[in-house]
Amino acid sequence: RTRNSPPTFRFTRNVNADQAGGVYVVPGMVADVVLGGEEETNQDFTFSLAGVETLQGIWTGADLFTQFSLSRAGTLTFETVATHNGRFRITVAIQDDGGTEDGSEDS
């Protein structure tokens, strides 16, 4: 059995949002999703919010979003807490369903 390789992807751009700007929907936010080797193309995958770092501002990133999702098609949907402003860096994880047997990686 071939080891499961970790999936990879890249963001296509940065996103700016106005304070109390409501729900943002940003299609095409993700590109170049690679699920591993050729034998892994049938795997399923999901994105999740892995972290938020405050770059500028007094707010902690942990409670920045009231809504956050990144679809398999690469559409980012989010809403921030109305009282927060500043600059933040988000970290998104991708995980496939290939498992972690025999030292394999799925994220």
- Tell me the per-residue pLDDT of 24-67, one tens digit each, with 9 for 90 and over: 999 999 999 988 777 777 888 999 999 999 999 888 777 899 99
DSSP E strand stretches across the chain: 8-11, 24-26, 30-34, 45-56, 65-70, 76-80, 87-96
Cα angle, residue 36 at apex, residues 35 and 40 outer, rounded to 5°: 75
Q: What's the pLDDT at 94? A: 93
Distance CA 29, CA 47 (A): 12
Ramachandran angles phi, psi of 37, nearest 5° = -75, 175
Give residue-wise pLDDT tens across range 85-94: 889 999 999 9
Identify whether the C-beta of residue 78 lies closer than 8 Å to the C-beta of residue 65. Answer: yes
pLDDT average, residue stretch 77-96: 91
Give whole-number Cα distances, 23 to 13, 19, 26, 62, 101, in Å. Answer: 18, 11, 10, 18, 39
What global pTM score does this model have?
A: 0.82
Identify whether the C-beta of residue 19 lies closer than 8 Å to the C-beta of residue 64. Answer: no
